[in-house]
Amino acid sequence: MKVTVCKSSLSGNISVPGSKSHTIRACIFAAMAEGVSHIRNPLPSADCLSAARCIKEFGAAVEMTEDNSVWTIRGAGSHMHLPSNVLDVGNSGSTLYFMAPIAAVFDGWSIFTGDESIRTRPVSHVVDVLRQMGAEAYISRPSCDAPPLLINGPAHAGKVVTDGRLSQYISGVMMAASRLEGRTDIELTEPKEIPYLHMTRLWLESLGIPVEMDSECTHISVTGPHLFSSFDRTIPSDWEAVAFPLVAAVLTDSDIVIEHIDGSGSQGDEAIISILQDLGADIEWDHDAEQLHVRGGCKARGSARLSVPNGITYRVNCAGFPDAVPILCVAACFTEGTFIIEDIGVCRRKETDRIAVMYAELQKVGVDIEEGSDYIVIHGHSPLCADGSRNPAFTLRGGETDSHGDHRVAMSLAVLGLALGDITVTGAECCAVSFPDFFTSMSTIGAVFK
């Protein structure tokens, strides 16, 4: 699908979907539980539906209401078994990395594959960890570090050492460890995406599973075996999705309220609030009402101009929330000053190489951008001078861009179009991976798409 995005002003209230990270974890823990669990406000995106489909192969049963407001999962519990079929995870890296260690708990072979994108995602780190746990693990294609992935269990509790730059398989090991006899010690030499590991810890502890984790996530211990009961949970809103209407409103003449904001602190991407406020964005967070009130452009209280603090280079370490990198790149394009997004090497191993993709796509519209192995530098300009007049240094232009099949890239480029105008996004249908109604929802507050 090709979408042309027009410059827009936004107003009104908008809600974003439930958290993808929480929804997938909820599906897996519900499948592992004894009894019937109810998951309310799940995200019915392609990735979460892949997780719901895959847990059936372990013995769980899944029912969904017509409006997808509640998913009911009858857990396999003590009867959870080796997957009964090849596991096709679709485009869901989380499902792949979470469920591969769980499959290794069982005696016998499991096979993991997915769509074209998944069949380029690295799995050698998963193979190494599973072998340390006593399972067999193989990549099916010689000289290709990607699925199909073959696993022969059972794995055993013990000590594993890995770098941990990708957090998802570490969460998978933590989940699997709850089914193993004894204590599993995980030593991470270079942990990244730490908020996601804390999210998994909170889930495990809420289900009564003993977890030890130091503040830097260099040492994690999980003791099992531990069967747990079913649960009834409401999935909080997705901060990764909140970022798109949030930045869109900041960059345009807008006044919006984003509702049902998660204030639990379980999602690292909420850091985007403080970053945008550092740049001068007008954002109010009413924790009691669970709302963000965002004013941008001529609607902002105070200056309508974003700039790096004190006119110096502004650095953001995104190791803990790398999925925010594409939308932060867009915000930086409209900010006066040099904006450096660093410690993001993991972004080269997501759905796409997001560093290379954002570099290529933003160059098309005239952004002064540099890329490094694990960083992006954007020399941005506000459309306005400090006195409110038009800034002649702001020379960005419209054009045709490509999502490269990456949902976060597609939505970020759409936000770019709302602020700049005349941006065409090719492959925009991939938004369904994490925000199925993105274009419809944004249209309700005034975004214009063709």
Q: What are the tokens at 345?
A: 């090497």
- Compute the radius of gyration of the chain from its Cα atoms: 22
Residue 308 has which token pair? 């790096």
Residue 321 dihedral angles phi and psi, to the nearest 5°:
-145, 60
Q: Residue 10 belongs to what H/E stretch? A: none
Residues contacting 141, CB < 8 A, separation 6+: 148
Q: Record the tokens describing residue 408, joined without a space.
A: 């976060």
> 259 forms bridges with which residues in the sheet?
15, 291
CB proximity list for 3: less than 8 A, separation 6 or greater: 414, 424, 425, 428, 439, 449, 450
Return d(Cα 179, Cα 222) in angstroms, integer. Answer: 10
Task: Find residue 253's DSSP bridge partners.
Answer: none
| Rounded distance between C-alpha atoms, residue 235 and residue 1, angstroms | 30
Residue 162: closest CA among 97, 209, 90, 255? 97
Residues 48 and 434: their CA atoms lie apart, in Å, by 8
- 141 C-beta neighbours (distance < 10 Å), count: 10
Q: Is 323 a catalytic residue?
A: yes
Q: How far is Cα 103 from Cα 58, in angstroms, rounded to an integer? A: 8
Measure the N-to-C terminal CA separation of the chain; round to a whole number of Å: 11
- Which candidate in 47, 262, 282, 323 is catalytic? 323
Please give the positions annotated as active site.
323
